[in-house]
Structure 1
Amino acid sequence: MSLLNARGGAGAHSSATGWPSVARARSVTLCRASAKPDSSVRSAAVTTIERPSPTTSQPSGATSSGAVGPAREAAPPALSTSSTSSAAATAAPPSLSRRDPRLLAAMAGALTLVGEACYNRLSSLQPEQLPALEAVAAALGGGAAAAAGVAAAGLGLAKLVMGDKFHVELLRGRLYIVAGVPSAGPAVAPGAVVVRPTGDVRGNGAFAAASIPAGTCLGAYSGVLLDTEAFDAKYPDGAGDYAMAVDERHVLDAAHLAPDTAAFHPVHMNHSRARPNVGRYYRRATRTVLFFTLRRVEAGEELLYDYGRRYWRGREHLELP
């Protein structure tokens, strides 16, 4: 069993009347035949329009008010102002809705560019906390440009908002994220933490002897470095009670330090998933684990952190809240 229990970690135009086209053409001819305001001509034109023959077309050259000339071929009716405006409006490109795929694609492209720029800038300032974008994109699964840009935008935004409480680490092709815990802070004052019995089945525990501010560094986990083979040989059942996983292949075993209660060591802190007041910051590349207070801890409070589900695998019935 490999490191099993180490502590770790989206319209077409149409005619409205139906009249024969010849009648319409004749009407146009009569209206244009005279430039004078002759009432008879106007009357003839009106008569022709209002009384067309619905079933019988008139012979070529005949008119309803006398011979004016040979009938012309039907001409298409002139477009009205409203028709012209409608055609212009139809020809104009439609506006993009918020759900239009083109708009969404444009927004995704812009987000990609902004995200890449922001991430690269932050990565150049803090390379130990934000790996290079190319490496992150590869670790995320082959890295399509848009997906990598959006992911980078999210990581960069989280870093801007959370500052030193958001960390990204890339190790052996795996991406690790630590959130909510700083990477640096003032050291705990000497004598501020004491080790004494808890009064229950847990045995000893670490307690604050004085008020400890939030963000205080309680120290680093230290011990004997064991690889997978050495750990399995020492703990055949996989239950390394005082072993802290520092990466996928190594643990720090502090079993020899646990009995010494005269001086505080992180090995003395007990587990709580429901009420932790201490968090862990990992630097897997250097196999470093630091502990920081997540809030102000008052005198008399026990210092607790979450060991992680991996530690309790196979012995969940022993876990205390």
Structure 2
Amino acid sequence: MGLRHVKGEGHSPSAILDSIGRTLTTASNGIKALAEHLATDESFAQSLVEAVELVGDGHGRVVVSGVGKSGHIGRKIAATLASTGTSAYFVHPTEASHGDLGMVTSDDVLILLSWSGETAELANMLTYAKRFKVPIVSISSNRDSILARNSEIALVLPKVPEACPHGLAPTTSAMLQLAVGDALAIALLERRGFSAEDFKTFHPGGKLGAQLRLVHELAHVADQMPLLVVGRPMSEAVIEMSAKGFGVVGIVDEGGVLVGVITDGDLRRHMAGDLLGQPVEEVMSCHPKVIQADVLASAAMEFMQEHKVTVLFLVDETGMPEGILHIHDLLRAGVA
């Protein structure tokens, strides 16, 4: 027989908003309690440091496991570790007991999650780990639990109220497990000096992948660049600007160094007199905004928005142009 839903006070908009507010407040208080736990419990703080060092100095992979909501959190922790440079994967305890334990080696580190620390489904993993000397990092709330007592490193979280009014559905507790997992992943990322370029390797797709592309991957190069040498007449600049379609032409000196640009705005400001007969250096704007080829696309977009420009020349360390990038190139790539 299914549950009966009786409409009452709890269904009013104000009651719904009150419920949401209580949940968010409970969650916020849980994170504050975790931060205070880190600041006041030396054993917990030292255990976190040891866990980061154990994983960071290891030669194998991180194998994460848990059941129920802890399992869902464990999957996310494994995914975050893997995407930030720590080789990791999730194994369900039931599947582990039916053959997947063969994937775990003595070079690996097990991260096992159980809020109570007494999850029966983890027993076979504990036995296997002890037999083959696989170190265990546990995340629980019970220092005296079977899991914590059988772990090389036990991360014991503070016991906090659940947002569930019955105290049954894992809500705040799951959030604390996730927060600790994220903290471990970011500490490992920073410890190994994992860069944005490294991050790009693991995130080639979607908007994030687009933001992590380098500008030289999106730029127009060689003959596609609108360029003229100083001394040439403005009539050639107008032709070059129109032919290349960027609304700008770069001006280089005899050595090929970019010394200025001419934009549509420059043309409008110099319409009086013999514009087409003037040399380009009389019309160009000096000290143009430029960018280097190894800059992230997301940084280029931010730079364009900050300086209110739609086109950037890519230059090398000597100032010679290597390409040209239009804001439309960034938009087409999905950076914005």
Give 1 or 2: higher helix fraction: 2
The TM-score bracket by the shorter chain reads under 0.3
Find the structure with the greater CA-based Rg. 1
Structure-2-length-normalised TM-score = 0.21
